Structure 1
């Protein structure tokens, strides 16, 4: 029986890109080559995400301006969703709009109440170029929207307003990792 490989087992942990780096605020480019280099990037992304104890990671969070993200995230029923998307597009965000705590590996140790839809549908491709549709609800829908935002050059504080936005940006400016 052939065993499936564990995502990230062959990857290397890369340094995380932190808030303030321009790559996080630049829309990512579409992937045009589906080969070993892309597969290696996805493996590195899984390894980095697991090392940082995250549930999702976009390529620009390791300095690569490409439309790729990985995830290992539960939904509200504690069902595990594990995978990756290449050239993803958020095609539907629907349902209730809920404000919940949201953090980011590029803003370590910080979080803010961020409004997101309770349902999301993302379309893209696998690392081998096969079409893929991923539907998420609850926490997983939040993860999908968060990662798609990264690829569009947004971080979650861009979605927060008022006192919550000022508070998280002030805390980020004082963080030990701030530039």
Structure 2
């Protein structure tokens, strides 16, 4: 297992629509293991494969409290069916949109069809935070970020701040010293 880099806005790969996974293989499971380790290291509660640059319809999540044993969940080719009419507000954040949190309304309940870690078909009845997290991560599979659900003003304010922080971070990095030209007569000594 390995911790991978999480893409952040404005990386254009986050806008890609992810492709169906043909079959759950050892390679798929290794990817899900890396995703889970990356999510835990971040730390976060959910991660879509596209967030580490892999445009496949795979999500991992773990909603266990930090005082509980880990409860990892794996979703391959998830599909939401029967979202409820009633909505629930949750404050959402995203590993790909660092340090931005806003309250969003999403369907309070939904059912999800998916393949599990072993490739077996499953149906999950989700409500509360689980329903919100699944919907948030599934948006990633369609190239949608949670900030896309915000007003234009809020979204632009967040993007402007992230751009400013990225610029400041880039300015902090020391430039690599220029290589000294090699002098042929010194190399022979």
**TM-score scaled by length of structure 1:** 0.83
Q: How has the CA–CA distance of structure 1 residues 82 and 127 changed in structure 2, closer, same or farther, with 3 Å as cutoff?
A: closer
Distance 2:27 2:72 in 1: 21
How many residues get paired? 166
Alpha-carbon spacing, 1:46–1:32, altered in 2? closer, same or farther (3 Å): same
Report the more deviating stretch, 16-25 or 46-55.
Answer: 16-25
Instruction: Tell me the CA shift for residue 167 of structure 1.
Output: 2.7
* 2:136 alignment partner in structure 1: 146
The match for 1:7 is: none
Q: Contact 1:74–1:140 at 8 Å: present in 2 too?
A: no
Query: Would the aligned equivalents of 2:79 and 2:112 in 1 still touch at CA under 8 Å?
Result: yes
Aligned match of 2:112: 122
Confirm whether residue 161 of structure 1 aligns to residue 151 of structure 2.
yes
Q: 1:46 maps to which residue?
A: 36
- Higher helix proportion: 2
Are 1:34 and 2:34 counterparts?
no
Name the residue aligned to 1:103: 93
Distance 2:119 2:31 in 1: 15
Unaligned runs of 5+ in 2: 171-189
**Cα drift, residue 159 of structure 1:** 1.1
Work out whether residues 27 and 65 of structure 1, in 8 Å CA contact, stay in contact via their aligned partners in 2: yes
Q: Considering only aligned residues, what root-mean-square deviation do their CA atoms show, in Å?
A: 2.3
TM-score under structure 2 normalisation? Answer: 0.79
Contact 2:88–2:128, Cα closer than 8 Å, also in 1: no
Instruction: After superposing the two structures, state which structure 1 stretch, 109-118 or 164-173, moved more.
Output: 164-173
